[in-house]
Amino acid sequence: MRDMTPTDRKMRLCAFWFPPGSHPGGWRMPDAIPGSESSFAAFVEVAQMAERGRMDAIFFADSVAVQPVDLIAEGDPAAGKVYRGAAGLEPMSLLPALAAVTTRIGLIATGTTTYNAPYHIARRFATLDQISGGRGGWNLVTSQTESEAQNFGFDRHMEHDDRYDRANEFFDVVAGLWDSWADAAMVHDKATAQCFDPAKVRILNHDGRHFKVRGPLNVLRSPQGRPIVVQAGASGPGKALAARIADCVFSAQATLAEARQFADEIRATAITFGRRPEHLRIMPGIIPVLGRTDAEAQELLEELRANITDEQALRSLYRVAGGLDLRKYPLDGPLPDLPRSNGAQGRQRLLIGMARKDGLTLRQAARRFAEGQAHQLVCGSAATVADVMQDWFEQGACDGFCVMPIYYPRGIRDIVDLLIPELRRRGLFRTEYEGRTLRDNLGLPRPASRFDA
């Protein structure tokens, strides 16, 4: 266990909630409560526990497709055994409801730039920010799976680099719409019958390659200037986009060396875009398997691993396999050469690198990837897990973590009741929120409006 090292610099922690949990074997545990993916009560409990732990935000992944849809279409019995991501609640409907039952925790939801319009995204997140008093955040993603395209009138996905070109312009439109109103635009002068100052409303008139948007947005400027923007791309275009526009970068690395290299690259690239690197929060995912002792945690991990079937493990590689049907290959043979993916290219590189470096069979690679989706999984007591987090934090590999509960409800309870007290004992994490908005608590400046320029 590392010594306590009081510091003014504090970790940032988000609860990445992907029901029924981030470990694919978690939902089969005896104490796991089924149905959490569609239970509003479960979402409330997770959000309120994370707020009790004074975590910065709760973060919701999202997809606009049922992930095993091709297996369903084929009538494959394996489809029903692929549980994670099959169904859930639409987060932009969920978050305003959670805003009403929380007071300080940030509320971050995924919104794809591939199958949305900028005006819709700008309006929804600006509204969330108003309802929550400045606690909204947008996880900007480019959709990754072909099955999403087929729900929006397309036979296949837009090409990877084209999706990122669209995403860059999409963000510019949304950011411009968020600046439609100056902070002091509303005057509410009853004597003169003037509601707002028209000189303080900006018409965007964007006309670009992908979008033509007049504006202005019909929601006032956000309490925190604009909602927090999160980005998670690991490909070259994804990292460039994150460095240019993100407040928080959600990343996936399994080793300290990989994390430091990623963080250094993002910060250096941010400077080339005229940004200050200290205005980014780099937050890799971490899956803590916690116990009162290391032995207890290891016993839990072995039980979780035993709950993963080979079918589920193999299916976890679907979105990074580049369209290759891995069911045709021997599980105890090597991971075959994968064609270039049009989806998660960064995750595909991590998978291939892991398999080749450690000499893994297809079965071993699939099971390891299924456990963490290339995020680091750390097993042990709170002190053991905190040692790893402290090392990454102090070595400059990150500014905090997106902590991924293994299953409901144990995962979030162990994080709040075991891990966070240990981080506080070391002086690494807050005891109370610093401000009212998500931007305040992340220690990020309020962005100036384009009106100020």
Peptide bond into 223 cis (omega under 30): no
Hey, what domains does the chain have and what are their CATH numbers? 12-294+375-441 (3.20.20.30)
Residue 137's pLDDT is 98
Residue 6's pLDDT is 44
Collapsing DSSP states into helix, strand and coil, what is residue 11?
Answer: coil
Residue in 314, 317, 358, 359 with CA at minimum distance from that of residue 334: 359
> What is the residue whose two structure tokens read 């002091």?
184
Which pair of tokens denotes residue 49?
């526990």
What is residue 406's DSSP assignment? S
Collapsing DSSP states into helix, strand and coil, what is residue 214?
Answer: coil
* pLDDT digits (tens), the chain, 453 positions: 555 444 579 999 999 998 888 998 999 999 999 999 999 999 999 999 999 999 999 999 888 877 766 665 566 666 656 656 668 899 999 999 999 999 999 999 999 999 999 999 999 999 999 999 999 999 999 987 777 888 888 888 888 889 999 999 999 999 999 999 999 899 999 999 999 999 999 999 999 999 999 999 999 999 999 999 999 877 888 899 999 999 999 998 888 999 999 999 999 999 999 999 999 999 999 999 999 999 999 999 999 999 988 888 888 777 777 778 888 888 888 888 888 776 676 777 778 877 888 888 888 888 888 887 778 999 999 999 999 999 999 999 999 999 999 999 999 999 999 999 999 999 999 999 999 999 999 999 999 888 876
Residue 80's pLDDT is 59
Global pTM? 0.91
Peptide bond into 409 cis (omega under 30): yes
Residue 76's pLDDT is 66
User: CA dist 156 to 3, 296, 354, Å?
Assistant: 53, 46, 29
Residue 220's pLDDT is 96
Residue 387's pLDDT is 98
d(CA 370, CA 314): 8
What is residue 172's DSSP assignment? H
Residues 6+ apart with CB under 8 A from 86: 66, 67, 68
CA angle 418, 313, 62 (to 5 degrees): 65
User: CA dist 347 to 200, 209, 341, 389, Å?
Assistant: 44, 28, 10, 22
User: CA dist 127 to 16, 89, 181, Å?
Assistant: 22, 19, 14
Residue 352's pLDDT is 80
> What is the residue whose two structure tokens read 């939801």?
109
d(CA 74, CA 142): 27
What is residue 101's DSSP assignment? T
- Determine the length of the chain: 453
* Stretch (H or E) spanning 284: strand 281-291
